């Protein structure tokens, strides 16, 4: 029997501390595919939908491709955009009904103007159309903020286990394999959700330094050896959102035919206790002054020193236009260096108008909110390259997917090549630099706007890695922020007697 399955993506990580909002153009800038454009553009890619397509074809499903919408992390989704995307999905769901199951690729930290739990808001609309009897499987980023309502809306939830997220396709496959078993009657899944009283935890989910998240994942794998425990998803949470559920969570997908809610709850509780035990283990970035001092020290290793501008990471909704790190590098005269991607559509347009070879004096960056991470920086430089920004991710993240930084330029200032872009983009792939002719491996220093994802692409060529907090929007010091919707008490904002 062929199963008829709706396949959907609605993915955004929403920062509620930004002055920005996320609109329809932001989705179109990343990808917003409809109907058969979804398999045409996402088949064979390292994405959750790529994994879903793989399973659909392997099992002979009748896939009904609805919508696949993803925007670069930013501010809350505008109500007009939410309605547009949701109504399009509803129209297509109604037209393609009935279904045996539904797969939805979510982020888990989506906020809209009308709901701090954007995922449940969307899933309620899906359930209203497909009914409450068929199974829904979802995938989640491990930085998801999960509300309790999700347990009433889906039966299967699988989260990424890597940060950088290099297992997107595999997680899509895993979720859809469980969905297939549910549709075939082999399992009868249900979801259990728990969270420790924490805003910060799991070392933010990092899996490159053999820290707390690696130990937690080992425990989750052991728990999954228990009969009836189908999946144990661990989410580190997203601290850049002021929502009730911000922080770590554990989601246990269990088979009600072979175990019960009490066993699933005990499983989730054990993992939550372990997350709490690791609460003081954070791998924090270093101050900018310390970063520059390290950068100025002699180096013997081959390959570039990679400096990550943690707090100005567009991948967490930061502006991507902070200038503090670039200014410091220019001040100490760093040579044979590159920095990117600095978001400044105005400067990119002005420099492109001057043309390659022009020497131009102008202000770059710092235009979104000059009070954060350094205001506009006046520089004089030579235009080295101009591009439309189109590229293809080569991996290990988003492998095979198209990307764009919009109109982009390379401006050489002293010994620093600055990549200036018109669309915000986390620097997580070497091909982003290559858009404007910068070959990463040829540089002595690479400054990248990223927290952790850069390691997937740049660690293999790096002689050293320095991660700094240069005062951008996404500083890890959560005590600098005012949370009004977050559940309380919560660590580390409140005192606990342990």
In percent, the amount of the chain with pLDDT more than 70 equals: 99
Write down the pLDDT at residue 299.
73
The model's pLDDT over 185-197, given as tens digits with 9 standing for 90+, comes to 999 999 999 999 9
Asked whether residue 498 carries a pLDDT value surpassing 70, the answer given is no
The model's pLDDT over 222-234, given as tens digits with 9 standing for 90+, comes to 999 999 999 999 9
The model's pLDDT over 460-490, given as tens digits with 9 standing for 90+, comes to 999 999 999 999 999 999 999 999 999 999 9
How does DSSP classify residue 424?
Answer: -
The model's pLDDT over 79-92, given as tens digits with 9 standing for 90+, comes to 999 999 999 999 99
Polymer length of the chain:
498
User: What is the side-by-side order of every strand in the sheet holding 249-255?
Assistant: 189-194, 249-255, 229-235
| Contact of 432 with 341, CB cutoff 8 Å | yes
Cα(48)–Cα(77) distance, rounded to whole angstroms?
A: 22
Q: Where does the pLDDT of residue 496 fall: very low under 50, low under 70, confident under 90, or very high at 90 and above?
A: confident
Cα(61)–Cα(44) distance, rounded to whole angstroms?
A: 17
Cα(110)–Cα(29) distance, rounded to whole angstroms?
A: 18
In percent, the amount of the chain with pLDDT more than 90 equals: 96
Write down the pLDDT at residue 302.
85
Write down the pLDDT at residue 264.
98
* Average pLDDT of the segment spanning 110-121: 98
Instruction: Give the global pTM.
Output: 0.94
Q: Which two tokens stand for residue 14?
A: 């929403």
Buried b (16+ CB within 10 A) or exposed e, 481-495: bebeebeeebbbeee
The model's pLDDT over 432-441, given as tens digits with 9 standing for 90+, comes to 999 999 999 9
Cα(108)–Cα(343) distance, rounded to whole angstroms?
A: 26
Kindly tell me the burial class for residue 313, based on how many C-beta atoms sit within 10 Å of its own C-beta (0-12, 13-18, 19 or more).
buried
The model's pLDDT over 166-183, given as tens digits with 9 standing for 90+, comes to 999 999 999 999 999 999
The model's pLDDT over 42-67, given as tens digits with 9 standing for 90+, comes to 999 999 999 999 999 999 999 999 99
Cβ neighbours of residue 457 under 8 Å, at least 6 residues apart?
Answer: 394, 395, 396, 397, 428, 429, 430
Write down the pLDDT at residue 395.
85
Q: Where does the pLDDT of residue 300 fall: very low under 50, low under 70, confident under 90, or very high at 90 and above?
A: low
Cα(18)–Cα(371) distance, rounded to whole angstroms?
A: 12
Kindly tell me the burial class for residue 280, based on how many C-beta atoms sit within 10 Å of its own C-beta (0-12, 13-18, 19 or more).
exposed
* Average pLDDT of the segment spanning 364-386: 96
Buried b (16+ CB within 10 A) or exposed e, 159-194: bbbbbbbbbbbbbbbbbbbbbbbbbeeebebbbbbb
Question: How many beta carbons lie within 10 A of that of residue 390, not counting itself?
Answer: 12
Write down the pLDDT at residue 296.
84
Asked whether residue 301 carries a pLDDT value surpassing 90, the answer given is no
* Average pLDDT of the segment spanning 113-142: 98
Q: Where does the pLDDT of residue 298 fall: very low under 50, low under 70, confident under 90, or very high at 90 and above?
A: confident
Q: Where does the pLDDT of residue 297 fall: very low under 50, low under 70, confident under 90, or very high at 90 and above?
A: confident
| Contact of 192 with 244, CB cutoff 8 Å | no
Instruction: Say what angle helices 288-296 and 324-331 make with each other, to 10 degrees.
Output: 40
């Amino acid at each position: 029997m062929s199963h008829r399955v709706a396949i959907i993506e609605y993915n955004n990580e929403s920062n509620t501390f930004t002055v920005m909002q996320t609109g329809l153009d932001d989705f179109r800038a990343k990808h917003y595919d409809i109907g058969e454009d979804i398999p045409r553009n996402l088949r064979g890619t390292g994405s959750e939908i790529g994994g879903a397509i793989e399973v659909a074809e392997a099992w002979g499903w009748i896939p009904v491709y609805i919508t696949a919408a993803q925007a670069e992390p930013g501010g809350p989704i505008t109500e007009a955009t939410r309605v547009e995307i949701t109504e399009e999905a509803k129209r297509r769901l109604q037209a393609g009904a009935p279904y045996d199951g539904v797969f939805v690729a979510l982020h888990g930290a989506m906020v809209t103007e009308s709901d701090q739990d954007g995922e449940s808001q969307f899933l309620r609309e899906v359930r209203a159309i497909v009914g409450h009897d068929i199974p829904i499987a979802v995938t989640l980023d491990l930085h998801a903020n999960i509300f309790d309502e999700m347990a009433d809306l889906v039966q299967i939830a699988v989260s990424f286990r890597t940060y950088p997220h290099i297992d997107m396709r595999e997680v899509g496959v895993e979720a859809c394999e469980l969905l297939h078993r549910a549709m075939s009657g082999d399992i009868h899944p249900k979801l259990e959700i728990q969270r420790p009283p924490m805003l910060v935890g799991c070392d933010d989910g990092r899996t490159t330094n053999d820290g707390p998240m690696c130990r937690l994942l080992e425990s989750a794998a052991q728990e999954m050896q228990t009969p009836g425990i189908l999946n144990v998803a661990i989410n580190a949470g997203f601290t850049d959102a002021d929502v009730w559920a911000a922080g770590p969570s554990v989601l246990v997908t269990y088979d009600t035919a072979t175990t019960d809610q009490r066993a699933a709850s005990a499983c989730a509780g054990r993992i939550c206790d372990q997350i709490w035990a690791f609460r003081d283990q954070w791998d924090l970035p270093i101050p900018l002054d310390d970063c520059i001092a390290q950068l100025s020290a002699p180096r013997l290793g081959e390959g570039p020193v990679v400096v990550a501008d943690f707090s100005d990471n567009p991948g967490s909704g930061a502006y991507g236009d902070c200038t503090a790190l670039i200014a410091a590098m220019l001040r100490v005269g760093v040579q044979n260096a590159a920095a990117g991607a600095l978001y400044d559509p105005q400067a990119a347009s002005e420099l492109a108008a001057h043309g390659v070879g022009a020497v131009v004096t102008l202000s770059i960056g710092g235009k979104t909110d000059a009070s954060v991470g350094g205001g506009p920086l006046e520089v004089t430089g030579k235009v080295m390259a101009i591009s439309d920004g189109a590229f293809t991710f080569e991996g290990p993240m988003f492998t095979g997917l198209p990307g764009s930084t919009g109109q982009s330029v390379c401006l050489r200032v002293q010994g620093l090549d600055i990549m200036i872009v018109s669309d915000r983009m986390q620097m997580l792939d070497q091909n982003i630099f290559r858009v404007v002719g910068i070959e990463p491996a040829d540089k002595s220093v690479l400054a990248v706007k990223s927290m952790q994802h850069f390691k997937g692409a740049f660690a293999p060529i790096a002689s050293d890695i320095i991660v700094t907090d240069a005062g951008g929007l996404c500083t890890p010091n959560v005590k600098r922020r005012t949370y009004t919707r977050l559940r309380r008490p919560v660590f580390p904002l409140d005192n606990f007697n342990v």
